[in-house]
């Protein structure tokens, strides 16, 4: 039995959900999101509570049960609070700045990296060494953060690079003579 799937998802005030077939659409103050569940689960909305139940006892139905419940909970979190990722840049001369809808990164390469921000995500650089990514879709926010971080991952010897805020980078000792 799925412990996650058993929990019903509460709809906060100002959020509405409607189910049509296997698709649930959630509307909130930050926008509208939808999720199409597989045929292994049943979605229902009653009295501001969304419940997900499996349509059998197969292994796949139990897997989809917990995953579908988590996806619906993420939809509701996205339209109410949104999702946020913060990145830190460490290294001499490494910095970031917004230019219109593009993020310009100086990362010690022979050229500046210009990252075009996708639609539905807002990126800000409050300081030259900080990047904030916000949006209502957790997957897109995480993917944008991963794409930016991929330009210069933190290296273990000096710790230079782009890292998530609060990320621990295991440091190595250099060569000894």
pLDDT reading at 93 higher than 70: yes
Cα–Cα distance, 37 to 44 (Å, whole number): 12
pLDDT of residue 111: 94
82 close to 67: Cβ distance less than 8 angstroms: no
Average pLDDT over the chain, rounded to an integer: 92
pLDDT of residue 125: 94
* Residues 125-177 pLDDT 10s: 999 999 999 999 999 999 999 999 999 999 999 989 999 999 999 999 988 88
Mean pLDDT, residues 70-95 taken together: 94
From residue 124, alpha-carbon distances to 27, 50, 120, 121, 160 in Å are 25, 34, 13, 10, 21
Cα–Cα distance, 68 to 8 (Å, whole number): 11
Q: Which domains occur in the chain, in start order? A: 3-80 (3.90.930.12), 83-164 (3.90.930.12)
Mean pLDDT, residues 103-125 taken together: 93
pTM score? 0.87
Mean pLDDT, residues 10-15 taken together: 91
pLDDT of residue 1: 63
pLDDT of residue 5: 85
pLDDT above 70 covers a percentage of the chain that reads 99
> Residues 6 or more apart from 27 whose CB is under 8 A from it?
15, 16, 17, 79
């Amino acid at each position: 039995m799925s412990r996650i799937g058993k929990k019903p998802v509460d709809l906060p005030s100002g959020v509405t959900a409607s189910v049509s077939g296997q698709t649930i659409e959630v509307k909130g103050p930050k926008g509208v999101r939808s999720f199409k569940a597989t045929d292994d689960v049943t979605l229902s909305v009653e009295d501001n509570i969304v419940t997900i139940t499996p349509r059998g006892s197969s292994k796949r139905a139990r897997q989809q049960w917990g995953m579908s419940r988590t996806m619906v909970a993420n939809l509701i979190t996205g339209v109410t609070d949104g999702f946020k990722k913060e990145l830190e840049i460490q290294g001499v001369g490494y910095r970031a700045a917004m230019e219109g809808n593009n993020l310009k990164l100086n990362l010690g390469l022979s050229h500046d990296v210009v990252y075009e921000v996708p639609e539905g995500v807002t990126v800000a650089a409050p300081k030259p060494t900080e990047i904030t990514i916000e949006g209502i879709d957790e997957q897109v926010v995480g993917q944008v953060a991963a794409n930016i971080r991929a330009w210069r991952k933190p290296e273990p010897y000096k710790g230079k690079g782009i890292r998530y805020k609060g990320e621990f980078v295991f440091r190595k000792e250099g060569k000894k003579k």
